[in-house]
Structure 1
Amino acid sequence: MVIIPDPTVSRKHAVITMVGNELLIKDLNSTNGTYVLDGGTFKRISEYRFSGDVVIRLGYYTVIKLSLVTEENP
């Protein structure tokens, strides 16, 4: 669990899980949404799979860069 001190992020906002060699981020019906940076614009998602780097936004203010690190991709 990660606690984010942002009033626009829900208590149970999103979950990230491994699916094979990818990570899956899934919005948990949050009020203010989960977004992925795509082509310079944040797009709201309900779920998104990735295997490299991704920049996400939770709510209005919290921006996080996530990276999948494996033995093959340090």
Structure 2
Amino acid sequence: MSDSGDLSMKTDDVLRVELEVFKQEHRDLDNAIHALVDRGTGDQLTIQRFKKQKLRLKDIISRIEDRLTPDIIA
């Protein structure tokens, strides 16, 4: 999983593609966590690591969405 890097240096098109990739990785981690918990096959350390990765992705997703969403002053 790569980091989003410096958002100011990337075009909106690149950010949109990265956003979709990060969202898919977030969904995949969520599914993996649920599968490990439901089956009882995951140890707590693995589940905790997946949850941390998920939070990191959520932060990256939020930063990209903020960058792509124009500021509208009402």
TM-score category of the 2 structures, normalised to the smaller one: under 0.3
TM-score normalised by the chain length of structure 2? 0.20
- Asked which structure has the greater CA Rg, the reply is 2
Larger proportion of strand: 1
Normalising by structure 1, what TM-score? 0.20
Whose helix fraction is larger, Structure 1's or Structure 2's? 2
